[in-house]
């Protein structure tokens, strides 16, 4: 093999070496960053698991919002249909929700706002 061909090959290989070293360094940096992210998410997951176990270990009962609503309806004889009308019967509000979709909408003269997502009242907030 001629000296010239060997010099060209050497130059090519040295250029390739520089590129591969840079690529390797980049991958090592990314690996370090991913490792940090894994540690952070793992720590958060561990905290959530600990809190779940603490709550499951409680001896007192937890009453769901659904159970409270059924208590008011069935034991206290509260007509929940009235609540539905109070919350969502405003035709103007319904028209606005149909037009705008998801959002927070004030109920005129009632002192509260409806938080609506996918045509469902998710929650109610008080006017400021």
Strands of the sheet with 120-126, listed across from one edge:
103-107, 112-117, 120-126
Angle at 117 between CA 62 and CA 100, to 5 degrees: 155
The number of distinct structural domains making up the chain is: 2
Q: How confident is the model at residue 67 (pLDDT cuts 50, 70, 90)?
A: very high
Same domain, 57 and 3: yes
Does pTM surpass 0.75?
no
pLDDT at residue 43 is higher than 90:
yes
Q: What is the mean pLDDT of the chain?
A: 91
pLDDT of residue 55: 83
What range does the domain containing 75 cover?
A: 65-126
Same domain, 25 and 79: no
pLDDT at residue 52 is higher than 60:
yes
pLDDT of residue 115: 95
pLDDT at residue 1 is higher than 60:
no
Torsion angle in degrees (nearest 10) through CA of 53, 57, 58, 59:
170
Give the residues across from 124 on adjacent strands.
114
pLDDT at residue 127 is higher than 90:
no
Same domain, 29 and 76: no
Tokens of 105: 């909408």
Same domain, 26 and 73: no
Q: How confident is the model at residue 88 (pLDDT cuts 50, 70, 90)?
A: confident
């Amino acid at each position: 093999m001629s000296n010239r061909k060997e010099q060209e090959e050497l130059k090519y290989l040295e250029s390739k070496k520089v590129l591969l070293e840079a690529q390797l360094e980049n991958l090592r940096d990314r690996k370090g960053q991913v490792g940090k992210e894994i540690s952070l998410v793992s720590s958060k997951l561990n905290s959530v698991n600990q809190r779940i176990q603490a709550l499951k270990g409680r001896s007192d009962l937890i009453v769901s919002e659904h159970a409270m609503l059924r208590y008011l309806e069935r034991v206290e004889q509260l007509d929940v249909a009235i609540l539905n009308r109070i919350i969502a019967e405003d035709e103007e509000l319904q028209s606005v929700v149909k037009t705008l979709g998801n959002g927070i909408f004030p109920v005129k003269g009632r002192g509260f706002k409806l938080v609506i997502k996918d045509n469902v009242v998710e929650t109610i907030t008080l006017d400021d």
